[in-house]
A and B are shown apart, each in its own frame.
Chain A
Amino acid sequence: MKKFVRDFELIANKRINREYYLLVLKSPERLPEMLPGQFVEIRIDNSKDTFLRRPISLYDVDMDKQLVYLLIQEVGKGTRKLAGLKAGNSLNLIYPLGNSYSLPEEKAKVLLVGGGVGVAPFPLLAKFLKQNNVEPEFLLGFRNKELLVDLADFEKYGKVFLSTDDGSAGEAGTVMDHSVLKASSFPYVKVYTCGPQVMMKAVSKFAEELQLDCEASLENTMACGFGACLCCIQETVRGNLRVCKEGPVFNTKDLIW
């Protein structure tokens, strides 16, 4: 897929909760095909203490309106800087980067299991699944109800099962404690996961025990984002692979983690 570098206009910077915000960016031209699981690299301008771009997963893409949606958590200097941007600001993006999630072999129900800001790739993934006659349902975990995302962005594609660590919304505990994973039958043919590594490993193990295909989208510190620097490697059965190029989506059976 051809990659582009362009200045986008920030249309809106919506506060989602005290840690997350959603950037809505308008492309100066028709967008190329953008696949679920892919990401963009944002240049952080006018910032002396950040040097590299920040890789951010695609939350949603509106091809007709030429809009890109990015759900971001404030975790460091770069994401704090982006949080302060206002409509009308310009942002330089490299896109689309990385590989993408793949469809299940069988057109049936699939489960998307996400934790925290790791739910970010799911709206675009769910849209893609629906377009291909696959039924997505979601199992989403958050620390508490104050840190939820806008669930309507997920509910429009399928049922959402919710868990919070403190039980303030949905079931109490982690996603692994949720009744949907404890039920006697598991009506899904494939599992997609994104979130903290400890959660993804648990989800992957769960899927493996049921002999289900599982794809995980990994996070890693990147310098370039397009395969040149070899900084963001993940150990796999095929050797060290680049999360930015061969990933960020991996079939969990290939991962050594």
Chain B
Amino acid sequence: MVDLKVNIGKLMCKNPVSTASGCFGYGHEYDDFLDVNRLGAVFVKGTTGSNREGNPYPRMAETPSGMLNSVGLQNKGVDYFVNEIYPQIKDYQSHIIVNVSGSTIEEYVEVTEKLNVLDKIPAIELNISCPNVKEGGMVFGTHCPSAIHVTREVRKAWDKSLIVKLSPNVTSISEFAKAVEGEGADSISLINTLLGMAIDARTRKPVLATVTGGLSGPAIKPVALRMVWQAYHAVKIPIIGMGGIMNATDAIEFILAGATAIQIGTANFIDPAVSIKVLEGIEKYCDEQGVTNVNELVGALES
């Protein structure tokens, strides 16, 4: 029997497998495909202070080994989440973690305060890395003093576990990892999508209405692995790794690079039951490798 329990800072998870925000709805979209209760955690859709309709269509472009999206944080706002969605999902046996987004520090704090009173939300993921909104989002995640400022203010409003989701669209991921650790983040998650674009040569137009969007899928995995590995050597807090994980082997690679837990994002769109397959695959790998506790693998990269 492999011990799969991991601690992401203050947050104890029954296993390291979770699903990424924006790729798993609120969990119940996947009830037909898998037992959501088996996951370590579910990171639900980015939530803002008020209703956002998101960006115009087209919002998606398929690219080699991946996809671009420019959804732009479409959600019905924190009050709707608290009153309508939370009652439907609070009884999952997996941790429900809300991805907190905003355009201003005040908005981030407002969303955080409203979530702080919900018993069954043990952690928030502070999204300072959404590339698809004009104001806020990635601006906070690519300018270090802003990252520090928003983390500090949200930390004051949030008693439970605070995860900060970092942007890969920076020169030094270590600098941002250290900066948010210094402001009291309990853990960091990375990477969010890489800013990219797609062009239709025939029409000479960009494919996305917003021109640029966030790249995800296996295309970004090498970048994500490198950043997790760099962050692991820069901070002491745990890391939740993500970026193009399609199977258990990919997940193990992230854990070896230094991730305590992992998130599965885009892969859910192609195989909606992939997260459970990854979970079972990690267990099998541990069995085969004589690993009795998955934590033995964290950062166990040999060089």
Q: Which residues of A contact B (CB under 8 A)?
A: 2-5, 43, 48-53, 94, 220-235, 239-240
Contacts and interface: CB of A to CB of B under 8 A. Distances in A.
Contacts of A43: 270-271
B64 A228 contact: no
Contacts of B64: 48-49, 51
B140 interface: no
Nearest to B207: A221
B23 interface: yes
Interface stretch (B55-63, B99-107, B172-180): B55-63
A51 B69 contact: no
Contacts of B22: 229-230
B273 A228 contact: no
Interface of B: 22-25, 29-30, 32-33, 45, 51, 53-54, 57-67, 69, 71, 74, 217, 266, 268-273
Given A2-B32, A4-B32, A5-B272, A233 B65 contact: no
Contacts of A231: 59-60, 69, 71
A50 B66 CA distance: 9
Main secondary structure of the interface of B (DSSP, over half): loop
B57 A220 contact: yes
Contacts of B67: 51-52, 223
A229 B217 contact: no
A51 B65 CA distance: 6
20 contacts: A4-B32, A5-B33, A5-B272, A43-B270, A48-B64, A48-B65, A50-B62, A51-B217, A52-B67, A53-B269, A223-B266, A227-B25, A227-B29, A228-B268, A229-B22, A229-B69, A229-B71, A229-B269, A233-B59, A234-B57
Contacts of A225: 269
Contacts of B60: 221-223, 229, 231-232
A226 B29 contact: yes
B265 to A, nearest CB: 10
Nearest to A239: B53
Contacts, number: 86
Given A52-B67, A221-B60, A224-B269, 15 more contacts: A5-B271, A48-B65, A51-B63, A51-B270, A52-B270, A53-B270, A223-B60, A223-B69, A225-B269, A228-B29, A230-B71, A230-B74, A232-B57, A232-B59, A239-B53
Contact of B23 (A94, A221, A228): A228
Contact of B269 (A49, A50, A52, A234): A52
Contact of A223 (B33, B53, B269): B269
B66 A51 contact: yes
Given A3-B32, A229-B60, A240 B53 contact: yes
Contacts of A233: 54, 57, 59, 74
A239 B77 CA distance: 14
Contacts of B268: 224, 228
A-B residue pairs, 7 tightest by C-beta: A231-B60, A224-B269, A228-B25, A3-B32, A223-B269, A228-B29, A231-B59
Contacts of B272: 5, 94, 224, 226
Contacts of B69: 223, 229, 231
B44 to A, nearest CB: 11
Contacts of B65: 48, 51
B163 to A, nearest CB: 21
Nearest to B70: A231
B43 to A, nearest CB: 12
Contact of B30 (A50, A53, A228): A228
Nearest to B75: A230
Contacts of B51: 239
A228 B24 contact: yes
A173 B74 CA distance: 41
A232 to B, nearest CB: 7
B62 A52 contact: yes
A5 B273 contact: yes
A49 B64 CA distance: 5
Contacts of A227: 25, 29
Contacts of A5: 33, 271-273
